Structure 1
Amino acid sequence: MANNKKLVPEATDALEKLKYEVAAEEGIELKDGYNGDITARDAGKIGGNMVKKMIEYAEKHMKDSE
């Protein structure tokens, strides 16, 4: 069973903003609220690019702190 508990609840708003930014960059229109009608391919593009951006952000900030 999946655990959907947020490890950092304060990040919820930032993740939502990132989701809409990535969707716009990919040309995928999201509406406020439920978006369960988008294709799995589009959802994967959004999620994959969100992870990519978060990794890039973490790598940049880890490098800056060295």
Structure 2
Amino acid sequence: MAGERNSNQPAAKGASQQLDQFKYEVANEMGLQLGGDRTSRENGSVGGMMTKRMIQFAEEHLKGGSKI
């Protein structure tokens, strides 16, 4: 566990940079700074909020019948 690298890959090719930017925007809005010196709860809450917003975005677009 300790020292392991994250092997998650975005489903959409080339989305890494946009997701990284989104992560820092969400953290800033939540008043948090990301980093190794923060708790898992703080860093994880940013990921949870990102997921919530992406699901909300998808639901709104699916409701309207448009493709994402």
Q: TM-score range by the shorter chain?
A: 0.7 to 0.9
RMSD, aligned α-carbons: 1.9
Query: Unaligned 5+ residue runs, structure 1?
Result: none
Residue 48 of structure 2 aligns with an amino acid whose one-letter code is G
Query: Does the alignment pair 1:27 with 2:31?
Result: yes
* Bigger relative CO (Cα 8 Å, ≥ 6 apart): 1
* The structure with more helix, counted as a fraction of residues: 1
Runs of 4+ that moved beyond 3 A: none
Q: How many residues align?
A: 61
- TM-score normalized with structure 1 length: 0.75
CA distance in 1, matches of 2:59, 2:45: 21
Residue 27 of structure 1 aligns with an amino acid whose one-letter code is G
The match for 2:3 is none
Query: Unaligned 5+ residue runs, structure 2?
Result: 1-5
CA distance in 1, matches of 2:63, 2:12: 23
The match for 2:65 is 65
Question: In percent, how many aligned pairs have the same letter?
Answer: 43
CA distance in 1, matches of 2:17, 2:9: 15
